[in-house]
A and B are shown apart, each in its own frame.
Chain A
Amino acid sequence: MTAPTLASPRAATSTSAGPPPRRSSQARSAWLFVAPFGLFYLLFLVWPVAYMFITSLFDTSLVRPGFGDFVGLANYREMLTKPEFWSALWHTVQFTLYTVPPLVVLAFVFAVLANQVGRGEWLFRLAFFVPFILPSAAIALIWSFIYTPSTGLWNSLQAALGVESPSPVLGTPDLAMIGIAITTVWWTIGFNFILYLAGLQDIPREVYEAASVDGASRWQQIRSITIPMLSRTTTLVVLLQIIASLKIFDQVYLMTGGGPGISTQVLLGLVTTTAFTDYRVGAASAASVLLFLVILLVTLVRQVVERFQQRKDVTS
């Protein structure tokens, strides 16, 4: 659930404060309260979405005012038949496949262990969580330096371990995406770590105590209590992680610029290149719409799964 629960327990949802005197004046106040945010919402979310869909049907250009000519589905046809699009889509999926499993599994393991030992929490938070709140650009500088061909920390370590002439990570087509994925795991694991820690704190101690009295070992406790009771957190973490990974842009832009060649070009990179380098807004919009639809699909899956879990919770 995204259900932000900073607040005290949710009270019954009655809605009016005090005796409602005159409905119409209350409605007027309400709209005045909503309007400023609503204006920004319309200008910077609703309209851009509409604009994206509209221009995907036109040959809109960045250097020519107006929408340009209506071209129907030509932009989509172009994208769906273009090898660059499929390659960018594949790299986006590839990045998602490389990052989601370690980001979920490692975060889970770290959180369970940190919860287990119950001390030194500041150290783990410092180590695992702090990178998450740092700018991607700072992270990219640190890791590009680590990946410096031959004299960098990584290649030197490989050499010290006996690898002869280790390949430059970001300069080798097959390795570049792995390098970016490792950077990303290092950078963003803190988020999942925190979500898992929060989930763990919600498991009542008594459950473990009962299991322990019954002679269950630690390992059995983790397998038959912790993992099942964290299933909702896991669903949330996995789906949020997939969505975040599909939106990959910063690390690629900063570390490889999509290279070598186009071996790490991702969808959002293709969108910005098409728009800002080739000036072809219409084609870029079509690519954006396709990415948007993929992300929307995952979001909808998330909603459905959450609904389903909630219903299960109610009935059980």
Chain B
Amino acid sequence: MTDRTGLDRIFKPSEEIVAREIGGELIIVPLTAGIGDIEDELFTFNASGRAIWKGLDGRKPLKAIIGELAAQFEGDPEEIEEDVLGLVEELVKRRIVVEVV
């Protein structure tokens, strides 16, 4: 997993989304082909996904996010790393986050 993204990489929300908290839920509206479609396709996160999303702020490398989550959730760091990398990969694929270069 580490080879896929690298734990020193930094990610931030894409310019092609609008993220907004509605009714206690984080809603991600993708702005695809010049349109934000809130009729059909939106994204939300479960609790752990949301915790990871908070860390994808354009400043923290992935390893810092993993460290924070390991302390917060008292979970197995390897499992947390796998979860973070898996989610980031998915978000990059969906163009919800982009890597800070």
Whether both chains belong to one complex is answered with no
- Chain A interface residues (CB < 8 Å from chain B): none
- Chain B interface residues (CB < 8 Å from chain A): none
